[in-house]
Chains A and B, each alone.
Chain A
Amino acid sequence: MARRKTIRFGDYIQAMSIDSQKVPYQELMPEPLFDRHGNEHPQPVPKMKLGGGDIFKILQPYLSTRFIDQARAVVPLAIYLGLFQYLVLQTPVMDASIIAGGLFAVMIGLMMFMEGLKLGLMPFGEIIGNTLPRKLPLAGVLFIAFLLGIGVTFAEPAIGALQVAGSIVNPDQAPYLFTLLNDRSGATVLLVGLGVGLAAVLGTVRFLRGWSLKPMIFMSVTPTLILSIIAFMDPELTKIVGLAWDCGAVTTGPVTVPLVLALGIGVAAAAGKGADSSLSGFGIVTLASVFPILGVLILSFYTAYTVPAEVIIEKAAEIKLAAQTATSQPQWYEVTPWTEVILGVRAIVPLVIFLAVVLLVILREKLKNAFITYYGIILAVVGMCIFNIGLTYGLAKLGDQSGGLIAGAFTSIDAITASPLYSMSVGVGIAGLFAWVLGLSATLAEPALNALGMTVQNLTNGAFKKSMLMIAVAFGVGTGIMLGVLKLIYGFHIMYILIPGYTLGLILTLLSTEEFVNVGWDSAGVTTGPVTVPLVLAMGLGFGNALGSTDGFGILAAASICPIVAVLTLGIYVQFKVKREERRVARELALEGEKK
């Protein structure tokens, strides 16, 4: 017999804090419509009329959650850089209001771009990924994957950072670097895109055949390293190596990864494979980080053998002269908002046209919810334009400034009158620590890392904790950026970091299991997002310029290999721990068996 709980009526009245009234649902519903044969007629769908308050209530959470996502990545970094400049370097941030406006534009732009990507581009990727393999033979699917790889590279927001970085390079000191980033920047991005396209093809075939990633890593990293060494021997091309390896980190961003993955997974699922393997989805990112390096190296060899350095220097001088005479009356498309707008439109629109052609002409499919897709595409284009403006005035400017000023900690520069602020050893230590904390915090703020951590935790049944992976990757990126900065200070070549780093990485790859190889090599590409890349690139170049070093590139490259080594090492440790645990359990079971 259960006793009924009683509630005092007064308590009940007090607990009910809001007015309520009752309406029968029947009264709200429209009468069913019948035609003259007595069949039910479809109801017209009336548009809802909303007051201002309700519109605000709908939009407020929609906008604020998306804005906070971006602000979480940008604001702490900006505060860190600003405070560091003010407290340690004793210089307030110059043009603070312009930079603040630029950073705000970055947040707004990324917010719109990511939402546009989700609503406008991802549906294309999913439909194509699901239906293409059923309608086309494998060769056709792979060809489309290849073209998609090129298209997404142009649409990647961080690619714009390369062009911005190119304007800082001095053509007299590094002519080939200058030409690859300025008058030939289109070719550079195309070669990067070809690399990503090739990676998409190979990654998809790998899904289908279930190949191991290990031999692919060896077959792609080894020739890249060898080519780098050949370039390193050449007095002119040696300045390109840093850029080439940085391109690998730039390519794998928020557009490439989901779109290429959607296609690859769709193909594998259509073939009845991949759905069972929890590892499907990994590997493409790794290949998409390595092949572009190869592409840029090959382009630089080609340029070096066809165009002599003097021609480039002359041409650069001409461009500079033309720019100086033209500054009085620049063309409309050379003025600030328009250049960025053109860049933004040029980045997204070709990709959208390509996707639309595949969908409408080859697949003859219709888009569901076309309105939302159009809205998403427009949002992506507008977001990209705003992001590009923010990139120039916020991220690149701030990174350039901090990079230039941090040199004042240990050497004499014009911007800080009291420089060097500290003795050589303390100053270098401060610069290194600054770079380390920057890399660590920027990586921990990257939302993609959180997602990767979750996947890894599920893959390893909790043996490899999410927090452990995040710390390992962030630690690796921080150490890598610190090494990159030290490289600039002491002026040694990036190859002295890359060769030991990748050799160690390859050895660890041999020792690790397939899961950890997949996760480890992907972790580097996944974690360098659209905020970190431009900031670190600009910081490196500003720092390099302040030191009079020609090669400000290479920091991102160093930041790519270190997390790989960190994650693989940790993976081997985890494996060892799991094995030991298994042995212990087996022994105990055996002992128990003996007792009985």
Chain B
Amino acid sequence: MKRSFTTLTEATLITAVVQHGYGEIITDALLEVGIQGSTVHGAMGVGIRERLGALGVAVDAERDVVNVMVSSDEVDRVFERMFLAGKLDTPGMGFMYATPLMQAATYVPPSILSKYVGS
């Protein structure tokens, strides 16, 4: 069988760095809006505890980093959803950003692919 792959364009990567435990909450919220394939990994955050002073003990230095690729049209919607789910309007909770992706590739089911690509 001849192998081929399809490059997806107009994709954006949204990354959220949040307190440990909130990664799962965000991925659950993402599944709710129909976004699959998010990646979560652990990290250590530095800086906020020093600035918060005594309250810093309530902020977990251990972080979850959530990476998810979305179509560029959906960035605003998903970005807002993740912001709300991760409670990023709380001091010390974390931050998030979106980066345009030059190209991306993954498995695209042939039934869907055939609608967009002429054989």
Q: Is chain B found bound to chain A in the same assembly?
A: yes
In the docked arrangement, what's the CA distance between A47 and B53, Å? 7
User: Are B76 and A12 within 8 A (Cβ)?
Assistant: yes
A58 touches B91 (CB 8 A): yes
A47 to B92 alpha-carbon distance, docked (Å) = 13
**A 51-66 to B, binary, CB cutoff 8 A, 1 in contact else 0:** 0001101110111010
Query: Chain A residues with Cβ under 8 A from B71's Cβ?
Result: 5
CA of A106 to CA of B45, assembled, Å:
32
- In Å, the complex CA distance between A3 and B8 comes to 11
CB <8 Å contact, B51 and A48: yes
| Among candidates A7, A20, A58, A369, residue contacting B92 with C-beta atoms closer than 8 Å | A58
Asked if B118 is at the interface of the complex by the 8 Å CB criterion, the answer is yes
Task: Answer whether residue A87 sits at the interface, using C-beta atoms and an 8 A cutoff.
Answer: no
Q: Please name the residue on chain B nearest to A63 by beta carbon.
A: B58
Contact residues in A for B58 (Cβ distance below 8 Å): 58-59, 62-63
Given A1-B117, A58-B92, residue A16 in contact with residue B80 (CB < 8 A): yes
Q: A1-B118, A46-B51, A47-B51 are in contact. Are A18 and B80 (CB under 8 A)?
A: yes
B77 at the interface (CB under 8 A from A): yes
Within the assembled complex, what's the spacing in Å between the Cα atoms of A292 and B10? 66
A1-24 CB mask vs B (1 if < 8 Å, else 0) is 111111100001001111010000
Q: Specify which chain B residues have a CB less than 8 angstroms from the CB of A15 in the assembled complex.
A: 77, 80
User: What residues of chain A lie closer than 8 Å to B56, measured between beta carbons?
Assistant: 372
A372 to B87, CA, bound (A): 25
Interface residues of B in 27-44 (CB under 8 A from A): none
In whole Å, how far is B109's beta carbon from the nearest beta carbon of chain A?
15
- Complex Cα gap A234–B17 (Å): 65
B102 in contact (CB, < 8 A): no
Q: Which residues of A contact B104 (CB under 8 A)?
A: none
B77 touches A18 (CB 8 A): no
Nearest Cβ distance between residue A367 and chain B, in whole angstroms?
A: 15
Pair B76/A58 contact, Cβ less than 8 Å: no
Bound-state Cα–Cα, A12 to B9, Å: 21
Whether A50 is near chain B, meaning CB under 8 Å from some CB there, is: yes
Minimum Cβ distance to chain A for residue B36 (Å) = 16
- Identify the closest chain B residue to A379 (Cβ): B57
Instruction: Please tell me if the beta carbons of B9 and A2 are within 8 angstroms of each other in the complex.
Output: yes
Q: How far is the CA of A54 from the CA of B77 in the complex (A)?
A: 25
> Are B91 and A372 in touch, CB under 8 angstroms?
no
Contact check, A16 vs B55: say whether CB atoms are below 8 A apart: no
A431: chain B residues within 8 A (beta carbon): none
Tell me whether B90 is interfacial, beta carbon within 8 Å: yes
Cα distance, A7 to B117, chains bound together (Å): 21
Min CB–CB distance A111 → chain B (angstroms): 13
Cross-chain contact B87 with A57 (CB below 8 angstroms) = yes
A4 and B116 alpha carbons, distance in the complex (Å)? 10
A375 → B minimal CB distance (Å): 6
Per-residue interface assignment for chain B, residues 64 to 97, with 1 indicating a CB less than 8 Å from any chain A CB and 0 otherwise? 0000000101101100100010010011100000
Q: Which residues of B contact A48 (CB under 8 A)?
A: 51-53, 91
Write out the residue numbers on chain B whose beta carbons fall within 8 Å of the beta carbon of A50.
52, 55, 91
In the complex, which residue of chain A has the Cβ closest to the Cβ of B21? A65
The reply on B59 being an interface residue by CB < 8 A is yes
In the complex formed, the residue of A with least CB distance to B71 is: A5
The CA-CA distance from A47 to B50 in the complex, in Å, is 8
B76 pairs with A54, CB closer than 8 A: no
Q: How far is the CA of A1 from the CA of B118 in the complex (A)?
A: 8
Residues of B within 8 A of A7 (CB): 73-74
A583 CB, min distance to chain B CBs, angstroms: 36
Contacts of A12 in B (CB 8 A): 76-77
Query: With A48-B51, A58-B90, A65-B21 known to touch, is A20 a contact of B57 (CB < 8 Å)?
Result: no
Q: Once the chains bind, are B55 and A20 in contact (CB under 8 Å)?
A: no
Asked whether any CB of chain B lies closer than 8 Å to the CB of A45, the reply is: yes
A407 within 8 A of B: no
Contact of B57 among A6, A18, A57, A375 (CB under 8 A): A375
Q: Which of A12, A48, A59, A119 has the most CB of B within 10 A?
A: A48
Kindly state the separation between the CA atoms of A361 and B90 in the bound complex, as whole angstroms: 41
Given contacts A48-B53, A62-B58, contact A57 B91 (CB under 8 A): yes
CB-based contact A45/B51 at 8 Å: yes
> With A and B bound together, what is the CA distance between A62 and B58 in angstroms?
6
Contact A54 B80 (CB under 8 A): no
A168 shortest CB reach to chain B, Å = 39
Taken residue by residue from 108 to 119, chain B's Cβ proximity to chain A (1 for < 8 Å, 0 otherwise) reads as 000000001110
Q: How far apart are the CA atoms of A50 and B52 in the complex, in Å?
A: 9
Cα of A55 to Cα of B74 in the assembled complex, Å:
33
**Contact: A1 with B92, CB < 8 Å?**
no
CB within 8 Å of B: which of A550-596? none
- Least distance between A450 CB and chain B CB atoms (Å): 16
Contacts of A54 in B (CB 8 A): 90-91
Contact pattern, A 119-139, Cβ under 8 Å of B = 1, otherwise 0: 100000000000000000000
CA distance A436 to B87 in the complex (A): 43
Complex-state Cα separation, A503 to B116, whole angstroms: 72
A376–B91 alpha-carbon span in the complex (Å)? 22
Q: How far is the CB of A190 from chain B (nearest CB, A)?
A: 34
User: Can you give 25 A-B contacts (C-beta < 8 A)?
Assistant: A1-B116, A1-B117, A2-B10, A2-B117, A3-B116, A4-B73, A5-B71, A7-B73, A12-B76, A20-B80, A45-B50, A46-B51, A48-B91, A50-B52, A57-B90, A58-B52, A58-B58, A58-B59, A58-B90, A58-B92, A59-B58, A63-B58, A65-B21, A119-B57, A372-B49
Closest 10 CB pairs of A and B: A62-B58, A57-B90, A15-B77, A48-B51, A58-B58, A2-B116, A47-B53, A54-B91, A375-B57, A59-B58
Q: Apart from A1-B116, A61-B87, list 15 A-B contacts with CB within 8 A.
A: A2-B117, A7-B73, A12-B76, A18-B80, A45-B51, A47-B51, A47-B53, A48-B51, A48-B52, A57-B90, A58-B58, A59-B55, A372-B49, A375-B54, A376-B57
Interface residues in chain B, defined as those with a beta carbon under 8 Å from any beta carbon in chain A: 8-10, 21, 49-59, 71, 73-74, 76-77, 80, 84, 87, 90-92, 116-118
